Amino acid sequence: MTKFSDLNLAPKVLKAIAETGYDTPTPIQAGAIAPALEGRDVLGIAQTGTGKTAAFTLPMITLLGRGRARARMPRSLVLAPTRELAAQVAENFDAYAKYTKLTRALLIGGTSFKDQDKIIDKGVDVLIATPGRLLDHLERGKLILTDVKIMVVDEADRMLDMGFIPDIEEIFKRTPFTRQTLFFSATMAPEIERITNTFLSNPAKIEVARAATTNVNIKQGVVMFKGSSKPKEPAEKRDLLRKLIDAEGEACTNAIIFCNRKSDVDIVAKSLNKHGYQAAPIHGDLDQSHRTKTLDKFRDNDLRILVASDVAARGLDIPAVTHVFNFDVPSHAEDYVHRIGRTGRAGRTGTAIMICSPRDEKNLEDVERLVNQPIPRLDVPGGKAAPTSAPAEAAGETTEEKPKRTRSRRKPEPKAETPKAQEPAVVEAKEEAPAREQKPREDRSRGGRGRGNDRRDTGPKIVGMGEDTPAFIALSFAERAKN
């Protein structure tokens, strides 16, 4: 079995690895480190949670052991799709480079440009950034990438989903053609393949698992849910989520709940707290300091449940997550692989449970097609997915209202018992109706001119107005005719 000591890593790097408690590399690490140390381009394809971050940080630290960075000219560049993933890469670098003199800078949104400029001006060996913030610095003239010797693109498929591919291409163009490129992705979409063919030169391809496969250590299941009515469905779905959490009992020491929409993240977190569950939201609209604080509490077991959007689905290394709950079926099937990859990490077992509404069934089919296996259907804890009280209350409301409407409509029923006697009255009413209707019209037409006036006395018939022409209009035409 291969060990880190067999991979020609620098002694200082091996010492740092030993202190982290790791001895044996994962398959992606064992496959990627050797060609990376040889200076070759690397294309690594592996599911999330397999140790891709160490697969590029360890050889990068070894290769950068000699040399010194110049101001505003980093020697290596790591691109990550989200702030959290970039911060995690920085933490890994700090842990593995603790016995070296290498410096690094973290360029992410939500932090001060001024503070970042100060670090860049001193010169850094490793620059870790999100594409948007890096381009901001480049456009301000604060960075020069002509001295980049190693460039890493992490979670490339997530970059594609977030629309960063044009930014990645622009950044590639600003780096030297002679750079070494390490490219990592969990899936291999056609657009990702195009990028690798354009910017990688004869890469060593390491594929340790079929693209978009799920970890065998994760027990998966889906609950088919249908609300009693559309207005009540959201509340019933949150009630089902709480039942699923309770059904796992003590086995669910902590959990990440994924929602498709940011608004649902806040609502679900608030609902869980209201019912006595310790939960906090995390999504892209929150301040970076708030997001970092929430993640730290979750890592330190001060927070049991993290309710997240897909900003937290990729690359976050929280090893001891026991459960993942998908409150929604993800819109993109690939996100399912990354979401459930937050559990069952580093050889541990995990559980992933998903709630599927009727409108999400097509997305569920896409997920099962991608992972090439059916997801087991689970029974709803306690029977029906919707609360039993909701349909009963709805039925009670209907029962109370119907008699009221029926009684109000049947008030004239006593008269209907003698229909023959009523027929002449009805006829008479119909015959008298025209006469009654003419009186108010005659009153309106007189305009205070006397009782003897009649609409027929106002002049000849007005063509196009019909026989029932209002008297005041007929009078105006008659006056014009006299003049």
DSSP per-residue string spanning 274-309: HTT--EEEE-TTS-HHHHHHHHHHHHTTS-SEEEE-
Equal fold, 4-207 vs 218-392: yes
Please name the residue that has the structure tokens 């950068």. Answer: 64
Is the pLDDT confidence value at 295 over 80? yes
pLDDT tens, residue by residue, 249-291: 999 999 999 999 989 999 999 999 999 999 999 987 888 788 8
Of all residues in the chain, the percent with pLDDT exceeding 70 is: 76
Cβ burial 414-433 (10 Å sphere, 16+ → b, else e): eeeeeeeeeeeeeeeeeeee
**Mean pLDDT of the residues in the chain:** 81
> Domain 4-207, what fold?
Rossmann fold (3.40.50)
Average pLDDT over residues 292-321: 83
Element (H, E) at 222: strand 218-224
Is the pLDDT confidence value at 430 over 60? no
Residues in the chain: 483
- What are the backbone angles phi and psi of residue 165, rounded to the nearest 5°? -60, -45
Read off the pLDDT band of 162 (50, 70, 90). confident
The better pLDDT of the pair 42, 332 is held by 42
Average pLDDT over residues 422-438: 43
Query: What pLDDT is attached to residue 372?
Result: 87
Is the pLDDT confidence value at 479 over 70? no
Element (H, E) at 152: strand 150-153
Name 448's Cβ contacts closer than 8 Å, sequence gap at least 6. none
Query: What pLDDT is attached to residue 389?
Result: 35
To the question of pTM greater than 0.85 for the whole model, the response is no
- Separate counts of helices (H) and strands (E) for the chain: 17, 13
Query: What pLDDT is attached to residue 447?
Result: 42
Query: What pLDDT is attached to residue 268?
Result: 97
Query: What pLDDT is attached to residue 347?
Result: 73
Is the pLDDT confidence value at 470 over 80? no
Query: What pLDDT is attached to residue 46?
Result: 81
SS3 181: strand
Distance CA 168, CA 165 (A): 5
What residue segments make up the domains of the chain, in order of their start? Answer: 4-207, 218-392, 414-482
Cβ burial 273-300 (10 Å sphere, 16+ → b, else e): eeeebebbbbbeebeeeebbebbeebbe
SS3 184: strand
The better pLDDT of the pair 417, 72 is held by 72
Distance CA 14, CA 96 (A): 8
Which of the residue ranges 68-72, 144-148, 233-237, 400-404 would you say has the lowest mean pLDDT? Answer: 400-404
Query: What pLDDT is attached to residue 360?
Result: 94
Of all residues in the chain, the percent with pLDDT exceeding 90 is: 49
Distance CA 418, CA 416 (A): 6
Q: Strands 204-207, 255-258: parallel, antiparallel or unpaired by DSSP?
A: unpaired
Which of the residue ranges 214-223, 361-370, 404-413, 468-477 would you say has the lowest mean pLDDT? Answer: 404-413
Query: What pLDDT is attached to residue 213?
Result: 65
Which stretches of 111-216 are DSSP H helices?
A: 113-122, 131-139, 156-161, 165-173, 190-199
Query: What pLDDT is attached to residue 35?
Result: 96
Average pLDDT over residues 393-412: 41
- What are the backbone angles phi and psi of residue 292, rounded to the nearest 5°? -65, -45
What phi-psi label fits residue 315: left (phi over 0), alpha (psi between -120 and 50 degrees) or beta?
left
Please name the residue that has the structure tokens 């107005």. Answer: 465
Query: What pLDDT is attached to residue 2?
Result: 82
Element (H, E) at 256: strand 255-258
Query: What pLDDT is attached to residue 79?
Result: 96
8 A C-beta contact, residue 145 and residue 77: yes
Average pLDDT over residues 402-412: 45
Largest CA distance in the chain: 121
Which of the residue ranges 30-34, 113-117, 235-239, 465-469 would you say has the lowest mean pLDDT? Answer: 465-469
The better pLDDT of the pair 372, 273 is held by 273
The better pLDDT of the pair 26, 444 is held by 26
Average pLDDT over residues 188-205: 90
The better pLDDT of the pair 234, 423 is held by 234
Distance CA 157, CA 162 (A): 9
Please give the C-alpha separations between residue 97 and each of 11, 61, 122, 247, 467, in angstroms, as whole numbers: 11, 7, 18, 44, 100
Average pLDDT over residues 19-29: 88
What phi-psi label fits residue 162: left (phi over 0), alpha (psi between -120 and 50 degrees) or beta?
alpha
Read off the pLDDT band of 134 (50, 70, 90). very high
pLDDT tens, residue by residue, 308-359: 988 655 656 677 899 999 999 998 887 888 888 888 876 788 999 999 999 9
> Domain 218-392, what fold?
Rossmann fold (3.40.50)
Is the pLDDT confidence value at 109 over 50? yes
Distance CA 462, CA 468 (A): 10
Distance CA 23, CA 5 (A): 8
Nearest Cα to 315, choosing from 156, 93, 168? 156
Query: What pLDDT is attached to residue 401?
Result: 39
The better pLDDT of the pair 403, 151 is held by 151
Is the pLDDT confidence value at 248 over 50? yes
For the chain, the helix, strand and coil percentages under 3-state DSSP, each to the nearest 5: 50, 15, 40
Query: What pLDDT is attached to residue 404?
Result: 42
Is the pLDDT confidence value at 222 over 60? yes
Average pLDDT over residues 114-141: 92
